[in-house]
Structure 1
Amino acid sequence: MGSWVRSCQKSKVYRHTETGPGSFHQPQRRFAHIHVDIVVPLPLSKGHHYLFTIIDRSTRWPKAIPMTNATSASCTTALLSRFGIPEHITPE
Structure 2
Amino acid sequence: MASDQGSRTTSMSLQLADVSFDVTGTSLLCHAVVPESWRQRVFDAIHGLSHPGRKPSQRLIAARFVWHGLWKDIRDWVNTYTIWPKRAKVYRHVKAPLEMFEVPEKWFDHVNVDLVGPFPPSRGVTYLLTMVDRTTRWREAVPLASTTTADVARAFIGTWVTLFGAPLDLSSD
TM-score (norm 1): 0.66
Letter in 2 for 1:76: A
Separation in 2, partners of 1:82, 1:49: 18
Aligned to 2:167: 86
**Amino-acid identity (%):** 32
Aligned to 1:32: 109
Any residues of structure 2 matched to 1:1-92 within 5 Å, and which?
24-28=102-106, 30-84=107-161, 85-92=166-173
Letter in 1 for 2:110: H
Q: CA deviation at 1:37?
A: 0.7
The number of aligned residues is 71
Provide, for residues 30-61 of structure 1, a one-character-per-residue CA deviation record: whole Å limited to 9, x for no partner: 43211111112101111101111111100111
TM-score (norm 2): 0.37
Q: CA deviation at 1:62?
A: 1.4
Letter in 2 for 1:87: L
Separation in 1, partners of 2:113, 2:172: 5
Gaps of 5+ in 1: 1-18
Q: Is the 8 A contact 2:129 2:144 kept in 1?
A: yes
Q: Is the 8 A contact 2:103 2:134 kept in 1?
A: no
Q: Is the 8 A contact 1:56 1:62 kept in 2?
A: yes
- Residue 83 of structure 1 aligns to a residue whose secondary structure is helix
**Larger relative contact order (CA 8 Å, sep ≥ 6):** 1
RMSD of aligned Cα (Å):
1.9
Q: Which of these two proteins has the greater Rg computed from alpha carbons?
A: 2
Change (3 A) 1:48 1:24: same
- Residue 79 of structure 1 aligns to a residue whose secondary structure is helix
Q: CA deviation at 1:81?
A: 1.4
Separation in 2, partners of 1:80, 1:72: 12
Q: Is the 8 A contact 2:115 2:130 kept in 1?
A: yes
Gaps of 5+ in 2: 1-97
